[in-house]
Amino acid sequence: AQSVAQPEDQVNVAEGNPLTVKCTYSVSGNPYLFWYVQYPNRGLQFLLKYITGDNLVKGSYGFEAEFNKSQTSFHLKKPSALVSDSALYFCAVVRGYSTLTFGKGTMLLVSP
């Protein structure tokens, strides 16, 4: 079954420092992978996706993610964190042809 795992419930980082939010996947075949962000009392906002091609994917708000097939990972990164990046981040993989299976989410807290 297609699934993703986010091993960290929470990530803490100081403003200005680089951040990484981890995601690993378990799929048969080639995965379609997504990152979404959820701010308090809001729906999910699309950040970026990996379908095929370059392993380094660039997305919204300065975020990027690296697809690593050998490590079955798709970690979300940003070179310099902002306090406003504090939110709940979800990794997701396409299941079948029609739905997304989400990880349990990682809370990112950026301190001033």
Partner 1 sequence: GAGVSQSPSNKVTEKGKDVELRCDPISGHTALYWYRQSLGQGLEFLIYFQGNSAPDKSGLPSDRFSAERTGGSVSTLTIQRTQQEDSAVYLCASSLAAIGGGTEAFFGQGTRLTVV
Applying CB under 8 A, the residues found at the interface with partner 1 are 32, 34, 36, 41-46, 49, 51, 90, 94-105
CB of 94 to partner 1, least distance (A): 5
CB of 42 to partner 1, least distance (A): 6
In the bound state with partner 1, the residue whose beta carbon lies nearer, of 49 and 75, is: 49
8-state DSSP, 74: E
d(CA 96, CA 112): 42
CB of 79 to partner 1, least distance (A): 23
In the bound state with partner 1, the residue whose beta carbon lies nearer, of 43 and 112, is: 43
d(CA 98, CA 83): 35
8-state DSSP, 96: T
d(CA 8, CA 64): 18
